[in-house]
Amino acid sequence: MGVLIAPSMLSADFGNLSKEVEMVNNSEADLIHLDIMDGLFVPNISYGFPVVKSIAKNAKKPLDAHLMIIDPDRYVERFRDLGVQYLSVHYEACIHLHRSLQKIKDLGMKAGVALNPHTPSHLITEIACETDFILIMSVNPGFGGQGFIENSYDKVRRIKELLSDRASTCLIEVDGGVSKENAASLVEAGADILVAGNSIFGSENPVKAISDLKHI
């Protein structure tokens, strides 16, 4: 399986949202990434259910929702009902992480665990075989357009080794500052899914930018 590309709608032009979704539909992207922020877990608010519903209405790619919110268990069913197929919750936000993951999977979605940059990789040891993907934040969550944290390469390698030691089929997703300049190194380190926002939607040719990432 080649690398999967997930354009982040946080960087899209919300004044032309349907056109932006259609662009992604017609590209080589594999997923549509949704950044959900509550202004509490992270210092920013992004968008909520009405926008997700609008995106879902036009999307022809699977929806990948990243919940940067406190107590995410409250909303798992609503995201499922909106058509989300990949749902990640933060390690730092879940008191009973195993229960949260099981709930997501019981509802028929792929369950992911997101890790902030400061969160040590070894903390996923006990759930390495209970989750479908690990989302490594390569910027501090909350805002788009931040600079890539260079230590993320080593973190990807450590988690890849941890998953391999446990014969886990869990995928590794990387989100934050991803571009064609660092994509190849991330894949070499073990990344399976690359989330990219500004490097796609801020380019002159977003379809080509997606293709460039897909074929690094």
In 4-58, where do the E strands start and end? 4-7, 32-37
pLDDT reading at 141 higher than 70? yes
pLDDT reading at 145 higher than 70? no
- Give the residue with greater pLDDT, 35 vs 1: 35
| Beta-sheet pairing, 110-115 with 171-175 | unpaired
Structure tokens at 203: 């380019």
Q: What value does the mean pLDDT of the chain take?
A: 96
d(CA 11, CA 30): 17
Average of per-residue pLDDT across 169-195:
97
Q: What is the pLDDT of residue 142?
A: 75
| Catalytic annotation, pick one of 30, 35, 192, 212 | 35
What is the helix (H) or strand (E) element at residue 43, kind and residue range? Answer: none
Q: What is the pLDDT of residue 46?
A: 93
- Please state the pTM of the whole predicted model: 0.96
pLDDT reading at 151 higher than 90? yes
Q: What is the pLDDT of residue 1?
A: 65
CB atoms under 10 Å from CB of 86, counted, come to 26
139-140-142 Cα angle (round to 5): 115
Q: What is the pLDDT of residue 196?
A: 97
Q: What is the pLDDT of residue 3?
A: 97
Q: What is the pLDDT of residue 147?
A: 85
Residues with Cβ within 8 Å of 113's Cβ and at least 6 positions away in sequence, in order, are 88, 89, 90, 91, 97, 101, 124, 127, 131, 133, 134, 135
Q: What is the DSSP string of 63-102?
A: EEEEEESSSGGGGHHHHHHTTEEEEEEEGGG-TTHHHHHH
Per-residue pLDDT of 75-122, as tens digits, reads 999 999 999 999 999 999 999 999 999 999 999 999 999 999 999 999
Average of per-residue pLDDT across 34-56:
95
pLDDT reading at 144 higher than 80? no
132 part of the active site: no
Average of per-residue pLDDT across 186-192:
98
Range of the domain at 187: 4-214
Tally the domains of the chain: 1
Please report which confidence band the pLDDT of residue 13 belongs to, taking 50, 70 and 90 as the band edges: very high
Structure tokens at 58: 């036009």
d(CA 159, CA 183): 17
* Phi, psi for 197 (deg, rounded to 5): -115, -80
- Which CATH number is 108's domain given? 3.20.20.70
Helix axes 17-25, 206-214, angle to 10 degrees: 40
| Catalytic annotation, pick one of 30, 38, 175, 212 | 175
How many CA atoms lie less than 13 Å away from 8 in the CB half-sphere?
26
212 part of the active site: no
